[in-house]
Structure 1
Amino acid sequence: MKIEIVRCLQDNYSYLIIDQKTNEACVVDPSEADPVINFCEKNKIKIKYILNTHHHYDHVGGNIEIKKFYNSKILGFENDKDRIPEIDILLKDQEVWKKDNFETKIFHIPGHTTGHICYHFFNEKILFTGDTLFSLGCGKIFEGTYSQMFMSLSLFKKFPLDTKIYCGHEYTLQNSKFCLQYDPQNKMLINKILEIKKNLSQGNPTLPSTIKDELDCNIFLRANDVKSFSKLRDLKDNF
């Protein structure tokens, strides 16, 4: 499998998971259709499945047009069946979904929204975290609770350290400023910021990150309890 990053809107990323044997693909969170379709047509890729992490428009905005263009199937969490446009396949927490050569495990990770899920392509050690876990950050709590978000983030700590993380937005540099303010002596964080700036200066995404990088550098994953996490989340909301 090959992963291609497609820039959408102002700072969103959609991801193509491409089976190089067939040139068929899944797309994760297509916020708009045109950039995704343009890339696929240029590279003769057919999108068979649309994987949504949650219902926000900047993650599902391209659903209908892509589905119509490729006759794709749309996947999302079962409890979001009324909020994800034209959903076809309802996924359950802890379910392993397998079609063609694609295989992923679903985890319900509420906090940012009540129906947020992530997709773990365990054979490839790849994790699509949507707007729950960002590189050096986490999503705002819109529908869930602090406790739910803390538990969702704690789940990520159990994944293999070399798991690659692909999240929904290019927020890494801004997130790093917050981490550095409250964790200024973290040498691993300081080194990661140098890497982030280098990637951005070359016009490259800062992603993927890894579970190890996030455990070492992401202050939200370094919080040990709900109280300290909640304080950090409030500080970040006003940063």
Structure 2
Amino acid sequence: MTNLEIELFSCRTDNFGVLIHDPDSGATASIDAPEEQPILDALKRRGWTLTHILTTHHHQDHVEANLALKTRFEATIIGPENEAAKIPGLDMTIGDGGDFEFAGHKVHVYETPGHTAGHICFHFPDDKLLFSADTLFALGCGRLFEGTPAQMWASLTKLMALPDDTTVYFGHEYTLSNARFAVTVDPDNEALKSRATEIEATRAKGGFTAPTTLGIEKRTNPFLRAQDTGIRKHLGMQGATDPEVFAEIRKRKDNF
């Protein structure tokens, strides 16, 4: 099976747009649909025709272009069953543990409540790709608009079970802010400090910080490291549960 081709680009003020393309069949999916024109520009740039939209959650900055693109391309929209009523143009819904195929590539769905109540992530196991949208960011995670810290920790724990060499595409370019925060709760992490320096340089040149890998996130993302003794000591939470430590990190980021 031929590897999927991926086009990463900016949408709106800080959203990432992502197109995935199967060169054998010509099938092309947009991960969410933040804004129509940048997606059209990316399709034209690559000479691809949109066939699918894979929707992760109902927020407007992820579904705004659903209907326009569906009308233009007759694209099939697949999204979370627990947010079906809130997502325009859905053709197929899927829940936690569901599987489907995109142009012969297996796709496994994880429901990851926290940012929204029914958020899903798309995992392509054979391609070692994860599209995590607003559940997992580089050095961060989504704000808890509809879920609890315990729910989000459980969601992130699901994703942490995936192999370290999984490439992760996420929903927003928040990485510089995330890095500046991360070193305040994990100040002795040398890998994090080195990464923060690299991110400063990348963003200064206008470069993207996506994609990342799950292995890098496990080593440096404080939101995945609630069990870390150094973070717990720094927070004065040596005896707390993992969800309690995660909740404190999330609260600090909200106020950062």
* Partner SS for 1:46: coil
Structure 1 segment 95-174 matched on structure 2, within 5 A:
95-174=98-177
Which residues in structure 2 correspond to 1:31-50 (within 5 Å)? Answer: 31-50=34-53
Q: Which residue of 2 aligns with 1:233?
A: 250
- State how far apart, in whole Å, the 1-side matches of 2:106 and 2:9 are: 21
Question: Larger C-alpha radius of gyration, 1 or 2?
Answer: 2
- SS of 1:82's equivalent in the other structure is helix
Give the Å deviation of 1:22. 3.5
**Bigger mean CA offset, 199-208 vs 57-66:** 199-208
RMSD: 1.1
Who is 1:216 aligned against? 219
2 CA distance for matches of 1:131 and 1:39? 22
Q: 3-state SS of the aligned residue for 2:127? A: coil
Match of 1:220, SS? helix
1:70 is aligned with what amino acid? F
Cα deviation, residue 197, structure 1: 2.3
The one-letter amino acid paired with 1:139 is G
Q: Please report the TM-score for the alignment, with normalisation by the length of structure 2.
A: 0.90
| TM alignment of 1:32-71, pairs within 5 A | 32-71=35-74
Counterpart residue identity of residue 94, structure 1: G
Please show how residues 172-191 of structure 1 align to structure 2 within 5 Å: 172-191=175-194
Q: Which letter does structure 2 place at the counterpart of 1:5?
A: L
Give the secondary-structure state (helix, strand or coil) at the position aligned to 2:126. Answer: coil
User: How far apart are residue 209 of structure 1 and its match?
Assistant: 0.7
| 2: CA distance, partners of 1:69 / 1:3 | 21
**Separation in structure 2 between the aligned mates of residue 197 and residue 22 of structure 1, nearest angstrom:** 39
The runs of at least 4 consecutive aligned structure 1 residues that moved more than 3 Å come to none
Aligned amino acid, residue 229 of structure 1: F
1:42-90 Cα deviation digits (max 9, x unpaired): 3220111100110000001111111111110111011111001111011
**Paired amino acid for 1:232:** I
Deviation sequence 1:126-173 (CA, Å, 0-9, x none) = 101111111101111011111100100111211100101111000011
**Structure 1 match to 2:85:** 82
Displacement of 1:218 after TM fit? 0.5
| Contact 1:137–1:218 under 8 Å retained in 2 | yes
Amino acid in the other structure paired with 1:197: E
Read off the aligned partner of 1:83 and give its amino acid letter: K
Q: Quick one: distance in 2 between partners of 1:53 and 1:174?
A: 23
Q: Deviations over 1:148-205 (max 9, x none)?
A: 0010011121110010111100001100011101111111001111221232233221
Change (3 A) 1:16 1:35: same
Distance, in Å, in 1 between the alignment partners of 2:178 and 2:25 is: 38
Distance between the aligned counterparts of 1:99 and 1:221, measured in 2? Answer: 29
Residue number in structure 1 paired with 2:7? 4
Partner of 1:205: 208
How many residues are matched? 239
Q: TM-score, normalization: structure 1?
A: 0.97
